[in-house]
Structure 1
Amino acid sequence: MLDTNLWVHVDPYLFRACGVRCFGADLQCGYAAGLGGLRLAESAKQPVILAVRIRGTATDNPDIRKTMETLKMESTFRARLLESSPSTLGMLRTAKNLVAWGQVNPEVLENLLRKRGEREGNKEFDDEFAKVFFRKENIAELARSVVAGEIGVKDLWLAGVKPRFRLHPPRGGFKRSTRRAATDGGELGYRGEDINRLVKRMI
């Protein structure tokens, strides 16, 4: 579990400059050893899903446009880690003609964090980050903890991880139609663990 007594030094200026919004329910600010500090708070742990926008077709539907903005997936080949709440699943269903999603596995999440993960301030994303912020030995252990629900997706964002991952078009192209749902032999919509097969080729 994420240690809520863990304090990490954060430069207050950088904290403000990064645009991180401080909510009392989400994180607590204070001082440790005389230094400005940030204590990460545990978010409600829910199953983790990975969503990828694979179509960029313009739409006149304001609900879909608003949904993509809320999900921060305005551009094609952007991926998001999301907690599987009813509201999130509802938004994904609204955008099912543009997005594919499913349960991410630890291997794919590790590769996603290592190769496509970005931190506020363009700081390096490495094993040291996992040690300092989450007391995990490396990114692989951090990924396993996120998938297991021991660390919430919100905790990553509070630690300065940017919420979007920029991917490439899949190597070798899409194997199925990007105009049809996965249940109809296409690429879109809910894919379960098969989302990992697609994302591996996009990292």
Structure 2
Amino acid sequence: MAPTVPESVLKKQATQAKIAEQAKQASYEAKQTKRADKKEAIASAEKYSAEYAAAEAAAIANRRQAKASGGFYVPAMPKLALIIRIRGTIGVSPKAKKIMQLFRLRQIHNATFVKLNESTIRMLRLIEPYVTYGYPTRSTIEKLIYKRGFGKLNKQRIPIADNSVIQEGVGSVGIKCCADLIHEIYTVGPSFKEANNFLWPFKLTSPRGGFSTKTKLVHFLEGGEAGNRGEEINKLVKRMI
């Protein structure tokens, strides 16, 4: 007569089989979700690429039309600035220190994006001796996010290794992948505040060739490093990534 298996062992085996089946199902569902998310991310990237190409073509057409009619094409005012802190806290006024805290520039070579409006432009002018800023291109935004991008999850600095980090942080506002995040920042979209707050301040290195101590104190227009440098900010970022 074959020995009978205790009921407790049978129950344990049944529970383990159930857990294994649930894990298998969860793994399958996760793979399907990942596949669907990847498809959606590719579709978003293609849509934004077409949008950027159309905007560039429109700008070229407007410039040609203005030139043909003997006029000048004036592009729209920039809506986005990238600020980089270039000086420490010695000699910083309390007001300037507070503004830099609001812009999340707590360390030298920290960089953040700022939506340009009347109040932020006034604030930038107050901290010009301690920062340099300008208007980033889409390429610069992409490089910063891909190479130096960290997200804020539960007050923790998490590297943006894949789209799941973005989805967890700002998926609630429709930003699900890197393409969505870059588009929201570049176009200063309706969820810009959430997207920008999700991004941890970029930690850049000292630029190749370095800053001169004397030029740090002088405005960019006078041959120094501080203040508004317009589109030249892109060349500086390239040296600091």
**Class of the TM-score when normalised by the shorter of the 2 chains:** 0.5 to 0.7
CA contact (8 A) 1:118 1:161 kept: yes
Q: CA deviation at 1:61?
A: 2.2
Question: Structure 2: how far apart are the matches of 1:91 and 1:135?
Answer: 29
**Please, what TM-score do these two structures have when normalized by structure 2?**
0.56
The residue number in structure 1 matching 2:56 is none
CA contact (8 A) 1:82 1:153 kept: no
Closer, same or farther in 2 for the Cα pair 1:122/1:60, shift >3 Å?
A: closer
Which string of whole-angstrom CA distances, capped at 9 and with x for unpartnered residues, describes residues 159-201 of structure 1? x332x11111001213792121111111110111111110111
Question: Structure 2: how far apart are the matches of 1:165 and 1:152?
Answer: 20
The residue number in structure 1 matching 2:239 is 201
CA contact (8 A) 1:59 1:65 kept: no
Question: Structure 1: how far apart are the matches of 2:158 and 2:115?
Answer: 25
Question: Structure 2: how far apart are the matches of 1:145 and 1:61?
Answer: 33
Structure label with greater radius of gyration: 2
Residues 175-194 of structure 1 aligned to structure 2 (within 5 Å): 177-194=215-232
Q: CA deviation at 1:123?
A: 3.5
The residue number in structure 2 matching 1:173 is 210
SS across alignment from 1:58: coil
**Please, what TM-score do these two structures have when normalized by structure 1?**
0.66
Question: Structure 2: how far apart are the matches of 1:145 and 1:74?
Answer: 24
CA contact (8 A) 2:115 2:188 kept: no
SS across alignment from 2:208: coil
Question: Structure 2: how far apart are the matches of 1:51 and 1:167?
Answer: 12
CA contact (8 A) 1:64 1:94 kept: yes
Residue 149 of structure 2 is aligned to residue 117 of structure 1 = yes
Question: Structure 1: how far apart are the matches of 2:93 and 2:158?
Answer: 38
> Quick one: which amino acid aligns to residue 148 of structure 1?
T
Q: Which structure is higher in helix share?
A: 2
Give me the CA root mean square deviation.
Answer: 2.6
Residues 24-173 of structure 1 aligned to structure 2 (within 5 Å): 47-56=79-88, 58-59=90-91, 61-119=93-151, 120=153, 121-126=156-161, 128-129=163-164, 132=167, 133=171, 134=174, 139=178, 142-150=181-189, 152-157=191-196, 160-162=198-200, 164-173=201-210
Q: Which runs of 5+ in 1 are unaligned?
A: 1-45
> Quick one: which amino acid aligns to residue 163 of structure 2?
E
Question: Structure 2: how far apart are the matches of 1:62 and 1:135?
Answer: 36
SS across alignment from 1:55: coil
**Number of aligned residue pairs:** 155
Which string of whole-angstrom CA distances, capped at 9 and with x for unpartnered residues, describes residues 107-164 of structure 1? 111111112211124444145259843466x635642442123364313145x332x1
> Quick one: which amino acid aligns to residue 88 of structure 2?
G
Q: Percent identity?
A: 32
